[in-house]
């Protein structure tokens, strides 16, 4: 590296002083002598002993209330928290707006040329001096004598560190000899307590480089988009010149001034033997490519702020905003951006139907990881209240809650896909003090006896209410909670309208409930964070793969999946080639509230679950709209795009053991459908053979 006689290389590795106590005593003696000169300059006519005594007393009083040097190691250092997607792409930085960005780095993570440039620019004798530069202190005293003011006086790296960290904000701004003496005394103490490498590392992480960048980690990323270990000599010499005047030398604002300061740093590096003139010339002539100015990065905004809220609840605001956390989320940015584009591309289609917003959430059923969270069509659009994350807002689910009701009826009342229900115009008991409940089908058509498969596949309302009446609202709510709809609470006021979406759910939770069906009833709560590191790179939290909890019989979950993935079961309502049909096996259910305030489509494959909501953020009703042509269209596009982006293999739903196919008849309606093996056995046992004619024996 062109280091003269190896001396400069030794400066970068030397860690201890041979006689720290002696250096301390020499330094104190020098300070006392300086105080004596100060006293003499004031015109003191006392004897020499009196002068020395007065100087000592003054020095002791001036330094009696100094903060402890130990505070350097325990000082609170704000750092920038960075949130990444699952692939390590930066999504957002959370930093102290009163301060700036900071990323702590170890000294061995900084390029040697950056260390050399810093020493040349700020304190070439750093590895030899005791924390103060005697020449600068003498100069300060002399200027105090001549000008009655501290006109100048370069500070060592150690002095700069203690001034910025240990002295109060008010004192560090004072241009007085008293502050200079106190600063020097503290620097001597720090030099005694810490190694040179420790002091230099603290300095490089503390110093301000301008443009909201504190510390060399943030400065290297902010100005050149790289780690400090990868800085070139040209880049390092530019950065090393900034701390003297971060605004005046800011290369984004004052490029020529920054270049002249860079020239000075290179000259100092040559003068102090860190590099030779040829190296300096090559560095000066090297084109500097500043990274694009970094506005606040914000990708996947709803997902990012969802994660931020989780972090704040768990770790508190101080650690979140100043702790330098590195947070790796479950979000997949390529998928997120694809789904955001799909939502935006459907804007005209929704507006034609009186809707202005949509929300999409994608979950990996096998892990519970949230892969994408599109909380609105456009986060930046205030006209649709785009900043509101609808995936975590309460909305009425319409008929998309019906699978939960039928699952509860299968578990508690023994219903099967072949159970016959009555799709006839009728009223149900509304409960104590309530009028009769008289639901209607969406098309005002009634089909008489139908199987449960036909009723759910075509989203018929009357059979769904009958199923809920058989099992009871509390049982249906309890099933919903088990599946993952944890915000849903039982209320006696809901009644049988629950099965038509009379309660409110969160799109995120409803999608998670469908994901539980995709895994055969094994629930994995939605997860948004994979790994959290602290400011020193130590693991704070790491989520291990979980098996989940089996919350419902997998055979019952499969029977619901069998219906929702059966294109023939929904022919009456949707036809053979609706947008609910994908290029691979998939289970899906739509939902629309009576007043058309909300439309839904939620569905899944064995390896992906996606929920789509469409409506207006403020709850204004849309014009009459089919969910399959609004939310269903978006769901279809989102699923197909996700298969490609995530490279998901085609998979069919695995049928668990313990299911049999049995023919059942009720009146003239017969069907062959799934049934639990034990139900089939009981059914066969209940059939008594008709006695045959006498044999005549």
- pLDDT tens-digit map of 33-44: 455 455 445 444
Can you list the residues of the chain whose pLDDT is less than 70? Answer: 1-67, 96-99, 136-154, 168-179, 294-295, 626-628, 687-697
Other Cβ atoms closer than 10 A to 248: 13
Q: Which two tokens stand for residue 139?
A: 């100069």
Identify the residue whose tokens are 């059966």: 566
Mean pLDDT estimate for the chain: 86
Cα–Cα separations (whole angstroms), residue 93 to 59, 80, 109, 123, 327: 46, 6, 21, 33, 10
Q: Which two tokens stand for residue 71?
A: 């505070």
Beta bridge partners of 381: none
Separation CA 558–CA 518 (nearest Å): 8
Count Cβ atoms within 10 A of the Cβ of residue 67 and give its class: 0-12 exposed, 13-18 middle, 19 or more buried: middle
Separation CA 503–CA 482 (nearest Å): 16
The answer to whether residues 343 and 336 touch, using CB atoms and an 8 Å cutoff, is no
- pLDDT tens-digit map of 480-539: 999 999 999 888 778 999 999 889 999 999 999 999 999 999 999 999 999 999 888 899
Cα–Cα separations (whole angstroms), residue 307 to 5, 83, 304, 510, 540: 54, 8, 5, 19, 15
The answer to whether residues 157 and 194 touch, using CB atoms and an 8 Å cutoff, is no
Separation CA 283–CA 277 (nearest Å): 10
The answer to whether residues 437 and 461 touch, using CB atoms and an 8 Å cutoff, is no
Beta bridge partners of 611: 361, 602
State the pLDDT at residue 22: 43
State the pLDDT at residue 139: 65
Q: Which two tokens stand for residue 620?
A: 């204004």
Identify the residue whose tokens are 């058309």: 596
State the pLDDT at residue 13: 40
Separation CA 119–CA 114 (nearest Å): 9
Separation CA 307–CA 332 (nearest Å): 14
Other Cβ atoms closer than 10 A to 678: 10
Range list of H helices, 458-549 = 461-471, 473-483, 507-518
The answer to whether residues 441 and 458 touch, using CB atoms and an 8 Å cutoff, is no
Separation CA 688–CA 670 (nearest Å): 19
Separation CA 346–CA 601 (nearest Å): 15
Separation CA 240–CA 332 (nearest Å): 38
Q: Which two tokens stand for residue 1?
A: 């590296």
Separation CA 268–CA 427 (nearest Å): 93
pTM: 0.77
Beta bridge partners of 329: 529
Closest-CA residue to 398 (of 589, 591, 590, 573): 591
Q: Which two tokens stand for residue 651?
A: 């998979």
Q: Are strands 370-374 and 357-363 parallel, antiparallel or unpaired?
A: antiparallel
Closest-CA residue to 127 (of 186, 70, 182, 200): 200
Separation CA 248–CA 257 (nearest Å): 7
């Amino acid at each position: 590296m062109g280091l003269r006689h190896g001396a400069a290389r030794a400066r970068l590795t030397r860690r201890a002083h041979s006689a720290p106590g002696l250096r301390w005593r020499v330094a104190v003696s020098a300070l006392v002598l300086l105080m004596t000169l100060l006293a003499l300059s004031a015109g003191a006519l006392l004897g020499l002993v009196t002068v020395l005594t007065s100087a000592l007393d003054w020095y002791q009083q001036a330094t009696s209330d100094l903060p402890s040097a130990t505070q350097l190691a325990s000082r609170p250092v704000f750092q920038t928290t960075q949130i990444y997607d699952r692939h390590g792409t930066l999504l957002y930085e959370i930093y102290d707006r009163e301060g700036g960005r900071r990323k702590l780095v170890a000294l061995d993570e900084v390029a040697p040329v950056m260390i050399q440039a810093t020493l040349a620019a700020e304190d070439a004798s750093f590895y030899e001096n005791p924390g103060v530069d005697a020449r600068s202190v003498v100069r300060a005293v002399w200027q105090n004598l001549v000008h009655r003011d501290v006109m100048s006086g370069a500070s060592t790296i150690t002095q700069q560190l203690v001034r910025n960290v240990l002295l109060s904000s008010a004192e560090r701004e004072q241009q007085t000899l008293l502050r200079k003496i106190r600063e020097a005394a503290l620097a001597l103490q720090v030099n005694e307590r810490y190694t040179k490498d420790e002091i230099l590392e603290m300095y490089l992480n503390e110093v301000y480089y301008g443009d909201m960048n504190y510390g060399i980690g943030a400065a290297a990323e902010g100005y050149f988009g790289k780690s400090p270990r990868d800085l070139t000599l040209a880049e390092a010499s530019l950065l090393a010149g900034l701390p003297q005047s971060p605004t005046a030398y800011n290369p984004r604002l004052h490029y020529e001034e920054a270049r002249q300061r860079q020239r000075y740093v290179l000259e100092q590096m040559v003068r102090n033997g860190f590099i030779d003139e040829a190296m300096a010339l090559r560095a000066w002539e090297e084109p500097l490519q500043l990274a694009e100015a970094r506005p606040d990065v914000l990708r996947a905004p709803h997902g990012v702020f969802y994660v931020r809220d989780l972090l704040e609840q768990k770790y508190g605001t101080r650690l979140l905003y100043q702790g330098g956390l590195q947070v790796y989320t479950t979000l997949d940015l390529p998928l997120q951006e694809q789904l955001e584009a799909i939502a935006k591309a459907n804007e005209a289609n929704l507006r034609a139907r009186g809707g202005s917003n949509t929300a999409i959430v994608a979950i990996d059923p096998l892990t519970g990881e949230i892969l994408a969270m599109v909380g609105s069509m456009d986060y930046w659009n205030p006209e649709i209240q785009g900043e509101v994350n609808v995936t975590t807002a309460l909305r009425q689910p319409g008929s998309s809650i019906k699978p939960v009701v039928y699952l509860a009826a299968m578990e508690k009342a023994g219903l099967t896909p072949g159970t016959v229900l009555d799709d006839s115009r009728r009223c149900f008991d509304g409960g104590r003090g309530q009028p009769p409940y008289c639901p209607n089908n969406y098309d005002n058509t009634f089909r008489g006896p139908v199987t449960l498969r036909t009723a759910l596949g075509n989203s018929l309302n009357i059979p769904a209410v009958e199923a809920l009446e058989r099992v009871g609202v509390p049982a249906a709510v309890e099933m919903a909670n088990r599946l993952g709809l944890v915000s849903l609470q039982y209320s006696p006021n809901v009644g049988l309208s629950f099965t038509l979406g009379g309660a409110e759910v969160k799109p995120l939770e409803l999608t998670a409930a469908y994901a539980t069906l995709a895994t055969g009833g094994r629930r994995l709560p939605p997860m948004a964070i994979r790994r959290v590191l602290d400011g020193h790179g130590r693991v704070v939290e790491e989520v291990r793969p979980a098996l989940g909890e089996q919350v419902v019989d997998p055979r019952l979950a499969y029977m619901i999946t069998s219906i929702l993935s059966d294109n023939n079961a929904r022919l009456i309502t949707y036809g053979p080639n609706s947008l609910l049909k994908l290029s691979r096996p998939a289970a899906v259910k739509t939902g629309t509230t009576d007043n058309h305030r909300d439309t839904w489509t939620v569905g899944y494959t064995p390896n992906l679950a996606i929920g789509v909501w469409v409506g207006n953020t403020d709850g204004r009703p849309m014009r009459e709209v089919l969910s399959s042509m609004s939310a269903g269209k978006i769901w279809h596009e989102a699923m197909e795009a996700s298969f490609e982006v995530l490279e998901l293999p085609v998979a069919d739903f695995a049928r668990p053991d313990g299911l049999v196919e049995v023919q059942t008849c009720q009146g003239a309606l017969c069907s062959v459908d799934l049934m639990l093996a034990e139900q089939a056995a009981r059914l066969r046992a209940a059939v008594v053979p008709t006695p045959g004619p006498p044999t005549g024996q």
